[in-house]
Each structure stands twice: as C-alpha cells, then as structure tokens.
Amino acid sequence: MTLEPIPDKRKAVVVPDVDPEAKWRPYREPLPAGEHPHRPAEGFKLLGKRVPLIDGPSKVSGQAVYTDDIQLPNMLVAKMLHSTRPHARIKAIDATDARNLAGVVDVLTGLELDPTRKFGVLPLTKDEEPLALEKVRFIGDYVAIVAAEDEWTAKEAVRLLKVTYEDLPSYLKPSEGLKPVPEKIHPDIGIDQSNVQKHVDQEFGRPDEAFRAADYSVRRKWKFQGVTHAFTEPHCVIAHYTAAGRLVVWSATQVPHYVHRALAEVTGLPMHRIQVIRPQVGGGFGGKSDPFPFEMATALLAMRTRRPVKLLFDREHSFYSGRGRHPTENEFALAMDRQGNIKALEIEAVIDGGAFASFGIISTYYNGVLSMGPYKVPNFRYRAAASTRTASPRGPCAGTAP
C-alpha cells in the first residue's frame, strides 16, 4: 500500500533542536518514594474513593425514563423505508397506495425536501440529508418516512411504497475510491474525481534518516474490519411541534447540542424555538454522538402533521443506522536502536468512511497522531486517506480514532 503525498504540499522548514534530550530530562529523573508533584498536601478527595453513579438508583430500580417510555397524547407512530440498493439514483417514488391506506396520516419522501438544507456533525462536512434526495448511497439509506395511527399500519404503509431505482457503480472497498471513479458518491465531495474526502500528510523530525541509521526496523500490514457498538437501547426519537410553533424533540442521543444545531439547519427554525431533551440513554459508546437523518425526518413529519411523532428502530434498523468504528488498512514501520528505544515510526492508512463524512476528518487525524501513545517518538511520518464508499457511515466508537 503506497499513498502519494498530497499534491502541492507546502514544504516545511525543519529547525533541529540544539539539545533534543534536554526537554526529556525532567521526566526521567526519579521522584522520591511516596511523593508526586501534583499530590495535594491534604490528600485526594475523589481519587481512590468510592463514588456512586448519580443515576444508579433510578436505573437499578426501573424508574429511569428512556425515550421509548415517553407517551404523548394523540401521538403518531413513524416507520422508515430503507434503501435496498448500495448506490442508485431515485427515479420515482410512488406513495399512492401508502397514502390511501386507512390509518396513514402522512408520507414524506426526500423528493419533497429542500436540497439546500443539509447537515452534518462537523461544520466542514455537511453532506447528510433527512431523506435521500436524488440517490441512495448504502443499503439502509433513508428513502421515506410514514406516520400512522399505529405501528402495524405504519409498517404496512412502508411495504406499499414503490421506488424506481437506476443502479450506479458500487464501491465495496475503500481503496476503490482512491483513484478517479465514473460516478462519485457525492458529486461535490472528492479530490480529483475520486471518493477521497480527506488527505492527511504529517511529518516531524527526519524519519528517512532515522530508518537508515536504525539497528532494527520492521514493517507490517494490518486490516481492521470495524466493529459496531451493540448498545442495548435501539435508536428512538419523539418530535412534537407545539401550537405555539416550538419544536420539542426527545432523543436517545449522546450529544443533544449537535441535534439542536442540525434541526435548526434542516427545519429553518431559529435555535431558540427548538428544544432537544435527552432522557436516559441505554448505552451509546459513541454510536449516538451524531445528529441522525431519522431525527431530522421525524421532526419534519411532526411539523407537517401538527401531531407528536415517535420513531423507534428495531435491532435490524439500528444496525443499518449505526456508525461503527472505521475499518482501516494500515501499514506500520518501526525503527529502534540496540537499547530498544524507538527512533522512528511511519504509518500509511486507508480509512473506510462509509457513505457520509460524520467524524471522518477527526478520525483520519487521530488514527495517526494518537498512535504514539505514551512513547517518545523523535521521528514520525503519517499519511492517510479517508475514502467514502457505498456502505453504512462510520463514526466514533468509544472514542473517535479507529
């Protein structure tokens, strides 16, 4: 695996340290037994003490309130139609039979939405839509949402929706997106007609010289397949557009502030007219950190119907929508001297970002800059490319780094 340097990379001027070892000496001097420079004279108040969880009693007694526990008067049940194609253009959606089904209150598709109102967890990568506008980008992508008086009617309405697709090239490996492709996953994202959403090229010290002078060096390749969070509570959201024109959203989210901001971008409402409430969350581990399209779609449906709407995913749809840790292809090289000291570290990585950016830019950096851990690494080089592909998006998993 060889990644080319970023085109037109600026040449950095490296100024050598006069005494490279001087900055490390204070950390290598042993401390007197039982002493620590940060230990307060009166002792620690929390470290080493038993600290019970504030919400522990309510959880173990069954009194904790989760999103699905909330019931509002006159509330509708929502279900979503997910794409069965990895990459396809939406030619038409026929919702006639679904709309005519008794008990169906509304059907919303991406073809009815404003294409300019996109969102994303990072300001630099707002590439997501409440529902697929022109094409789907992974199996499980959000195509339409239905609101009905009960769950079974909503499920039947979803089954009655008919979608006409035009299949497009699928990219099943992140490496397939490193070169120019016939049809980009996102028309306005991708370097040089590729599906690469981010290049990283970082270097300090003189790694080439360090490898040439090293007593020992090793180079290996690894693949990480990625993992899912498998949290106990599936995704759930309730949206209510009040008579006063305020949007209230309850969501099993880890970061209500992200949802708040995204709702303002999608609905056009000012932020002071939107309230996001986070009930107890039954596990997340990073998998509920993003603002999700289904949260946006549920809010839009509540605004259209003027009734509260609840969307609860089952386990299958939680897997479709989950954003597990990024799969990666890594090549590592390590140089050491005869005393076992690390002299240089070099990493090249291709990171699978899935269909949307999510936290991809952050993960692309963290994959390299956090790889040194607690060790002194005087010479370092990291090159990486995050590539979108026609698969479920990726995101943080107990932290943002792969």
Q: What is the CATH number of the domain that holds 195?
A: 3.30.365.10
Same domain, 240 and 217: no
**How far is it, in rounded angstroms, from Cα 239 to Cα 303?**
8
Residues 189 and 223 in one domain: yes
Backbone dihedral region for residue 352 (phi beyond 0: left; psi -120 to 50: alpha; all else: beta):
beta
Which of residues 273, 299, 321 is at a domain's end? 321
The reply to whether 185 and 256 lie within a common domain is no
pLDDT at 31: 66
Domain co-membership, 179 together with 269? no
**Residues 349 and 311 grouped into a single domain:** no
101, two tokens? 């089904």
Same-domain check for residues 77 and 188:
no
Q: Residue 353: inside a domain, yes or no?
A: yes
Residuewise pLDDT in 10s, the chain (402 residues): 666 555 454 454 444 555 666 666 666 677 666 666 677 778 888 888 888 889 999 999 999 999 999 999 999 999 999 999 999 999 999 999 999 999 999 999 999 999 999 999 998 889 999 999 999 999 999 999 999 999 999 999 999 999 999 999 999 998 999 999 999 999 988 888 999 999 999 999 999 999 999 999 999 999 988 889 999 999 999 999 999 999 999 999 999 999 999 999 999 999 999 999 999 999 999 999 999 999 999 999 999 999 999 999 999 999 888 899 999 999 999 999 999 999 999 999 999 999 999 999 888 998 898 898 889 999 999 999 999 999 999 998 875 443
pTM of the entire predicted model: 0.88
Residue 144 lies in a domain: yes
Report the pLDDT value the prediction gives residue 23, as an integer from 0 to 100: 66
Residue-by-residue DSSP string for 211-268: HHH-SEEEEEEEEE-------SSPPEEEEEE-TTS-EEEEE--S-HHHHHHHHHHHH-
Give the structural domain span for 360: 174-227+324-388
Do residues 125 and 361 make contact, with C-beta atoms less than 8 angstroms apart?
A: yes
For the chain, the C-alpha Rg in angstroms (whole number) is 25
Residues 233 and 215 in one domain: no
Count of domains in the chain?
2
Q: Determine, yes or no, domain membership for 159.
A: yes
Last residue within a domain, chosen from 275, 303, 321:
321
314 falls within a domain: yes
In a domain, 298, yes or no: yes
83 and 139 fall within a common domain? yes
Residues 134 and 79 in one domain: yes
Read off the amino acid at residue 326.
Answer: H
Domain termination residue (choose one: 296, 321, 346):
321
| DSSP strands (E only) in 302-402 | 309-312, 328-336, 342-354, 380-388
Shortest CA distance to 261 belongs to which of 123, 355, 124, 394? 123
Spatial separation of the C-alpha atoms in residues 144 and 98, rounded to whole Å: 11
Handedness of CA 14, 15, 20, 22 (dihedral sign): negative
Amino acid at 78: A
* Within a domain: 339: yes
Residue 113 C-beta-side C-alpha neighbours within 13 Å: 29
